[in-house]
Amino acid sequence: MPNLPQELITDILTRLPVKSLLRFRCVSKPWCSVIDSRSFIKMHLLQSKKTGSNLFLMLGFLGIYSVELDSLDAANRLRPPYSASDVSNSCNGLILVLAKIPFIWNPFTRKYRELPATPVEQPVDFEVGSAYVTYGFAYDAVNDDYRVVRVEEFRGFDSEWIRSEAKLYSSKSDKWRKIKNFPYQLPYKRAWGAHLNGVLHTGVRTGDLGYFDSSIWAFDVRTEQHYTLPKPDFTGTDLEFTVEVLGGCLCLVRPRKRYRTDVWIMKEYGVKESWTKLLTIAPPLVERYITIGPLAYSRNGEEVLLNHDDKQLIWYDLRRKTVRNVSVDGLPFVFYAEVCVASLIQPDVSGEGDETEELRQQEKSRVKKRLRKCGSMTS
């Protein structure tokens, strides 16, 4: 090892899983310094994205679980710092956990950062029957900033949507601020938005006076601009659909009558003509179902992993148009799933490794003791 160039050692390390890298921090002080450096952390993430490695399914609802995507053999229950079971979308290995106090968490390094409290400010110009809070999580690559969008939707006593107010959290400033209100009613769930390249996407209903249409609505967390994207040319009158991300492309899932679902892929972002129907699934391939959600491609690209009714995982063969069930040990009875890449990205942690000087010194002392212990074991 002493004869290997440092560049080669670094390149080898970028190809290893996070679990191994956390152990190898104890090999030597130089290795610990390399693995903890911002440049290496970014190199490791880029390598994982380039090769499609270190991918996991993060499951929520009845607790938080992880499943290694390459093996799909077992669901491992995770222990977040606070009791929680709701997870928003992931960004570069970080996930937004929707606990009583929401926090950004890296489940692979176990570092986390609490979001500062911000009150729900109900309007005073009309009576509110109910208020509903929903979140989206995204990454601003230009400013290297992880951002959380919180939308407070207000409804009248007849449950009719009235308006919303939006706030944006920046991990760099560690502050919330008000932004332009969202013009449409969001899907009725705590976490919304398919994240792709710093933009949150969702399906919304638009129109008034009895005429409704559905649109793909997008929000760029860097420019804070709203815009819509073109849909595929549908046939039929079914307006409902959901928006997902599959293989780095925007994906549209459209349920139809008789338990039939079409999955479309936008191969070139923003180009209407690039929409391609990827697959159609219906009985007798699967039994009657309520939802189908695409998650990931297989390594060879010939199959698509689907979430079947939030209760089962199945592989769909794109060439043969067949399905096969996936048996995962410890899979919870009900779950929703999100693909996440394991990384060393840190959320500027609070709690575990707070940014106060006292705790920084405590952490340095612990590291020094650990390195001395590891050094004595290897000498």
pLDDT digits (tens, 9 = 90+) for 4-53: 788 898 999 999 999 999 999 998 898 899 999 999 999 999 999 999 99
User: What is residue 230's DSSP assignment?
Assistant: P
Span 243-256, average pLDDT: 93
Q: Cα–Cα distance between 354 and 119 in angstroms, integer?
A: 24
Q: Is 379 a residue whose pLDDT tops 70? A: no
Residue 344's pLDDT is 97
List Cα–Cα distances, 129 to 91, 161, 165, 166, 184, in angstroms.
Answer: 34, 10, 16, 19, 18
Dihedral, CA of residue 15, residue 48, residue 104 and residue 112, to nearest 10: 0
CA 240 from chain centre, in angstroms, equals 23
Taking a C-beta distance cutoff of 8 angstroms, is the pair 285, 279 a contact? Answer: no
Span 284-313, average pLDDT: 90
For tokens 């960004």, name the residue.
91
Give this prediction's pTM.
0.85
Q: Cα–Cα distance between 342 and 20 in angstroms, integer?
A: 12
With a pLDDT cut of 90, the percent of the chain lying above it is 59
Query: CA neighbours within 13 Å on the CB side: how many for 64?
Result: 25
For tokens 């491992």, name the residue.
76
Q: How many Cβ atoms sit within 10 Å of the Cβ of residue 29?
A: 14
Question: What residue type is assigned to position 331 of the chain?
Answer: L
Element (H, E) at 358: helix 357-378
Residue 47's pLDDT is 96
- Confidence class for position 288, pLDDT limits 50, 70, 90: confident
User: Angle CA(155)–CA(219)–CA(42) in degrees, nearest 5?
Assistant: 130
pLDDT, one tens digit per residue, over 120-179 is 777 666 666 677 788 999 999 999 999 999 988 877 766 677 778 899 999 999 999 999
Q: Cα–Cα distance between 365 and 120 in angstroms, integer?
A: 41
Question: What residue type is assigned to position 193 of the chain?
Answer: G
Span 237-251, average pLDDT: 86
Residue 369's pLDDT is 52
> Mean pLDDT, the chain, as a whole number?
85
* Domain boundaries along the sequence of the chain: 46-341
Which of 23, 87, 32, 74 lies closest to 339, judged by CA?
Answer: 87
Question: What residue type is assigned to position 146 of the chain?
Answer: Y
Taking a C-beta distance cutoff of 8 angstroms, is the pair 62, 335 a contact? Answer: yes
Span 208-227, average pLDDT: 80
Q: Cα–Cα distance between 292 and 282 in angstroms, integer?
A: 10
In CATH, the architecture of 46-341 is 6 Propeller (2.120)
